[in-house]
Amino acid sequence: MNKICIVTGGSSGIGLAIVKAFISNDYTVYNLDIQHSTLGHFIQCDMSKVEQVQQAIAQINSQEKQVDVLISNAGIHRSASIENTSEELLDEVFAINVKGAFAATKAVLSLMKKQNQGSIIYIASDQALVGKSNSFAYNLSKHALASMAKTTALDYAKYNIRANAICPGTIETPLYHKAIDKYCAESGANKIQVHAEEAALQPLNRLGQPEEVAQYALFLASDKAPFITGSLQVIDGGYTTG
């Protein structure tokens, strides 16, 4: 019988790469996202709405009777310093990045406890480890996911439930290109040059790819990583080593 994996925000970028990787490895994958996708079993869900998340995962539980893996990936980025962060912007980022992860985790735990096994993976960021300018709310939210991985790992280790956070650096996704396009439109900078400068900031002199993060998630979810829990797994081309 195939293992069951739930991915939040699986319709694009890192989430989409994760959905593809897990399907290719014989998982039955459910994708909770507001944006439609034809890959896996799609359930339209606004991750900022706790009730919608609960209903979506209850639907999966009723159909499958098991959940082996939860990958909490859904997230948004907003650029602003603390002075330029309004209460509304802070709420918007935390509603999806943190509250969505909170709701999904709570919803799968009862079934994972009954199974006496499970793997929960949070897609955090290198910003869970280091600060970056003009990224106040996003940085806070990613630190929160790192904390969620650690506390969940400790609280549920007795049920053989593992919780870890993957901390990607700069990954070439649609979200990355959207941010670069916005910066270039506002500053008049050349996109090719900005892209090259971003790559040069990485010790490996390139950006990461979504598929690389997906393979990391696949390993952490597998039986090959049974002693890994409560950890922050960095995949950033060496960016945070300095």
Instruction: State the pLDDT confidence band at 159, using cuts at 50, 70 and 90.
Output: very high
- For residue 142, pLDDT over 80 is answered with yes
Edge-to-edge order in the sheet of strand 4-8: 41-44, 28-33, 4-8, 69-72, 118-123, 161-168, 232-235
Cβ pair 117, 160 in contact under 8 A: yes
Cβ pair 97, 138 in contact under 8 A: yes
Instruction: Give the closest residue to 46 by CA, choosing from 35, 38, 37, 57.
Output: 35
Distance of alpha carbon 136 from alpha carbon 5, whole angstroms: 31
Neighbouring-strand partners of residue 71: 7, 121
pLDDT tens track for 31-54: 999 999 999 999 999 999 999 999
Q: Which pLDDT score, from 0 to 100, does residue 110 have?
A: 94
Instruction: Give the closest residue to 163 by CA, choosing from 148, 151, 149, 146.
Output: 149
Q: Tally Cβ neighbours within 10 Å of residue 66.
A: 17
Cβ pair 23, 4 in contact under 8 A: no
User: Scanning the structure block, which residue is given the tokens 């997230």?
Assistant: 75
Mean pLDDT of the chain: 96
Q: Which pLDDT score, from 0 to 100, does residue 183 have?
A: 85
Of all residues in the chain, the percent with pLDDT exceeding 70 is 100
Cβ pair 55, 97 in contact under 8 A: no
Q: Which of 138, 156, 176, 216 is catalytic?
A: 138
Active-site annotation holds for 138: yes
**Which domains are present in the chain?**
4-170+209-241 (3.40.50.720)
Average pLDDT over residues 159-167: 98
Q: Tally Cβ neighbours within 10 Å of residue 65.
A: 11
Instruction: Give the closest residue to 73 by CA, choosing from 37, 25, 26, 121.
Output: 121
- For residue 15, pLDDT over 80 is answered with yes
Distances (CA, A) of 6 to 9, 32, 106, 118, 180: 10, 7, 13, 11, 30
| Angle, CA of 196, 201 and 203, to the nearest 5° | 115
Neighbouring-strand partners of residue 121: 71, 164
pLDDT tens track for 223-240: 999 999 999 999 999 999
Distance of alpha carbon 99 from alpha carbon 11, whole angstroms: 19
Q: Which pLDDT score, from 0 to 100, does residue 168 have?
A: 98
Q: Which pLDDT score, from 0 to 100, does residue 82 have?
A: 98
Q: Which pLDDT score, from 0 to 100, does residue 13 have?
A: 97
Distance of alpha carbon 126 from alpha carbon 9, whole angstroms: 19
Residues in the chain: 242
- For residue 143, pLDDT over 80 is answered with yes
pLDDT tens track for 75-115: 999 999 999 999 999 999 999 999 999 999 999 999 999 99
